[in-house]
Copies of this chain bind each other. A is one copy, B any other.
Amino acid sequence: MDSRFLSGSVEMLILQIAIEGDTYGYAITQEAQRRSGGYFALKEGSLYPALHRMERRGLLESFWEAKETGRRRKFYRITAEGAKSLEAQRESWQAFVAGVNGVLGLESRGLA
């Protein structure tokens, strides 16, 4: 993975995964990796701070899995505000890609 470009995308990726159903930290890293064809290797030192600040900002809410025994998992659920933010970020992302591709002389067909 090229972390040079990553900055600013992490939260969008987390929101996207969260909007498809409640999830937790470790699962997010696995899912991001799987769906990007192995490209994203989200580090814990990036992931957990991101989750915490997103919760502080009201984009996510969390709850501990109610389990008597074994491994504990902290689940995250996207809020209405989080969903709104995701929609805005998706649009912003596509504008950004179009902008960069414009400078690079690449076409952005198919990116709607």
Of residues 90 through 112 on chain A, the ones whose CB sits less than 8 Å from some CB of chain B are 90, 92-112
Cβ contacts under 8 Å, A4 to chain B: 7-8, 89, 92
The answer, yes or no, to whether A32 is at the interface (CB within 8 Å) is yes
- Bound-state Cα–Cα, A42 to B103, Å: 13
A99: which of B7, B40, B93, B97 is its contact (CB, 8 Å)?
B40
Cβ contacts under 8 Å, A93 to chain B: 5, 100, 104
Question: Are A100 and B2 in touch, CB under 8 angstroms?
Answer: no
Cβ contacts under 8 Å, A96 to chain B: 2, 5-6, 39
Closest 3 CB pairs of A and B: A4-B8, A39-B99, A7-B7
